[in-house]
Amino acid sequence: MTSNEIRRKFLEFFESKQHQIVPSAPIVLKDDPTLMFSNSGMTQFKDYFLGYREPKSPRIADTQKCLRVSGKHNDLDDVGRDTYHHTMFEMLGNWSFGDYFKEEAIAFAWELLTEVYGLKPENLFVTIFEGDASENLERDNDAYNFWKKHISEDRILNGNKKDNFWEMGESGPCGPCSEIHIDLRSDAEKAQIPGKDLVNQDHPQVVEIWNLVFMEFNRKADGSLEKLPKQNVDTGMGFERLCMALQQKSSNYDTDVFTPLIAKVEEISGRKYEGKMDDERDIAIRVVVDHIRAVSFAIADGQLPSNSGAGYVIRRILRRAISYAYRFLGMKEAFLHQLVSVLKNQMGEFFPEIFKQENLVTEVIREEENAFLRTIEHGLSRLDAIVNDTISRNEKTLAGAEVFELYDTYGFPADLSRIIAEEKNLSVDEAGFEEEMQKQKDRSKKSSAQKIYDWVVLEEKPESFVGYDKTATPTYITRYRKIE
Ligand code: ATP
Ligand code: MG
Ligand code: MG
Ligand code: MG
């Protein structure tokens, strides 16, 4: 099954269970002061759960573009180093707003995974909330009993509050959740260590694929819990991980979500991707193909790279990709923008925004690349001078202020300075660097009265959603508001 078929099957399945299919919300949020990016499927439905708005339908399903690079969910440091955390990923989800609850949610998930997708029950584990005495919360016996109808009891594991109790924030809707994990190891490996011992242990072949959240409670401002009058279901399944399971790969990067992008990077760079975990070139390729998706979709949704807020986060992701490619793939010329057309061919049918904004996205990335590559060249020669100076003085530490100046004035990444220093057996005076950073923050606080525009007016006209399977009309709702 191709990734496009896998996505379609998910939506068709929930449509057949009377869910209304809606498009993904933009990856960048404009109206939510608490969050810069959509980081889960439920983000766009927050108001329904809080009771501020009425849902259009009590049952909804979709795939949501998510970005986990800031705030509570920040997976950036894992990206490229592991094989199943991305900056941008799709979260497939189904929701019940006061409609069905645990029994049906569990039955739907099981039917989809084992009957529609054909995953083997003997490779699956589920977790349920074990309870928490300090909060007077009981073990989720309902979920346990519903799971028991489908899966053998030794595959139902207890999970703690951290993994199995979901909260929107300090107050608001919350409740126990039940996760589904898949064990993709070989039989020989399974014989050595039982899969249940590896659930939630960061094992690359025993991974969480789906999280079913049962919103049962409301946490009040005083911290106490009250039962919600209407109970909701909020689920999220990692699309790329599901593709790994269904395509029987051992890494998300080996699925057809990423292989066309990797092939293009191989073609341009002349470096072969070998899928090794510790090889810097392989890490760099994973970083590049991951980050290009995040940056392209953010720009297609109207968020230009910039020097502040969400735009700055996007600029940093792009620069991270450029730095990795520069250092480990020897890419001294702009090339990332060439990946946008690959992305368009692959995902444009389902996400027409990337199709329509291809030119804008390509041009913005090209410009950013060229500007940053100039910065790198310039910074490298300055850093060389600083390094030589330090060595000639028989010192072992680069002055924090100088590394900061490179970063602040030239935009040269401090991480790059650290890596280069290390290669010469030098270190960076981190305390000095931090001190300069603090001074800079104080200065910018003073000048923050200045207005900066972060949004770009997109080329298209707003359109309404017509259904995910109708190819004639795009399914995307345009946003073209400028915010200050
Ligand atoms: P993990 O424990 O693997 O970090 P999570 O518990 O943080 O995942 P949830 O918040 O429960 O994830 O999100 C629902 C689903 O989204 C997960 O079960 C997983 O399949 C997927 N997912 C979460 N984070 C990522 C990511 N960074 N990249 C790809 N998929 C992800
Ligand atoms: Mg996580
Ligand atoms: Mg988890
Ligand atoms: Mg989870």
Q: Residue 244 is inside which H or E element, if any?
A: helix 239-246
CB-based burial label for 124 (10 Å; 0-12, 13-18, 19+): buried
Which residues make beta-bridge pairs with 428? 398
Q: By three-state DSSP, how is residue 448 classified?
A: coil
Cα of 163 to ligand 4 centre, how many Å?
6
Q: Look at the block and give the residue holding tokens 């108001």.
A: 47
Alpha helices in 252-351 (DSSP H): 259-269, 280-300, 309-328, 339-347
Q: Which residues contact 363 (CB under 8 A, 6 or more apart)?
A: 337
Cα of 26 to ligand 1 centre, how many Å?
19
- Which residues form ligand 1's pocket by a CB distance below 6 Å? 40, 68, 75, 85-86, 89, 91, 208-211, 236-238, 240-241
- Give the dihedral sign, CA 322/328/334/340: negative
Q: Which residues of 223-252 are buried (b: 16+ CB within 10 A; e: fewer)?
A: eeeeebeebbbbbbbbbbbbbbbbbebebb
State residue 150's pLDDT score: 98
**Terminus-to-terminus CA distance in the chain, angstroms?**
44
Given ligand 1 and candidates 241, 251, 293, which is best to mutate, with the most ligand atoms within 8 Å of its CB?
241
Which ligand is nearest the CA of 77, by number?
1
Spatial separation of the C-alpha atoms in residues 388 and 393, rounded to whole Å:
9
Cα of 130 to ligand 4 centre, how many Å?
15
- Index of the ligand 1 atom closest to the CA of residue 207: 3
State residue 446's pLDDT score: 66
Q: Which residues of 456-465 are buried (b: 16+ CB within 10 A; e: fewer)?
A: bebeeeeeee
Contact 12, 108 (CB under 8 A): no
Q: Look at the block and give the residue holding tokens 């027409």.
A: 352
State residue 391's pLDDT score: 95
Given ligand 1 and candidates 63, 91, 199, which is best to mutate, with the most ligand atoms within 8 Å of its CB?
91
Residue 45 is encoded by which pair of tokens? 């439905």
State residue 335's pLDDT score: 98
| Local confidence pLDDT in tens for the 484 residues of the chain | 999 999 999 999 999 999 999 999 999 988 777 788 999 999 899 888 888 889 989 999 999 999 999 888 899 989 999 999 999 999 999 999 999 999 999 999 999 999 999 999 999 999 999 999 999 999 999 999 999 999 999 999 999 999 999 988 788 889 999 999 999 999 999 999 999 999 999 999 999 999 999 999 988 888 899 988 889 999 999 999 999 999 999 999 999 999 999 999 999 999 999 999 999 999 999 999 999 999 999 999 999 999 888 999 999 999 999 999 998 999 999 999 999 999 999 999 899 998 899 999 999 999 999 999 998 888 888 999 999 999 999 999 999 999 999 888 777 888 889 988 998 999 999 999 999 999 988 876 765 444 434 444 444 433 443 333 333 333 333 333 333 3
pTM: 0.88
Which ligand is nearest the CA of 78, by number?
1
Q: What's CA 380's distance to the chain center, in Å?
A: 31
Kindly report the protein residue whose alpha carbon is nearest to atom 14 of ligand 1. 236
Cα of 161 to ligand 3 centre, how many Å?
11
- Index of the ligand 1 atom closest to the CA of residue 200: 2
Given ligand 1 and candidates 208, 209, 252, which is best to mutate, with the most ligand atoms within 8 Å of its CB?
208
Cα of 111 to ligand 4 centre, how many Å?
20
**ipTM for the assembly:** 0.99
Spatial separation of the C-alpha atoms in residues 67 and 78, rounded to whole Å:
13
- Index of the ligand 1 atom closest to the CA of residue 180: 18
Residue 147 is encoded by which pair of tokens? 């799971």
Cα of 385 to ligand 3 centre, how many Å?
46
Q: By three-state DSSP, how is residue 322 classified?
A: helix
Spatial separation of the C-alpha atoms in residues 148 and 135, rounded to whole Å:
26
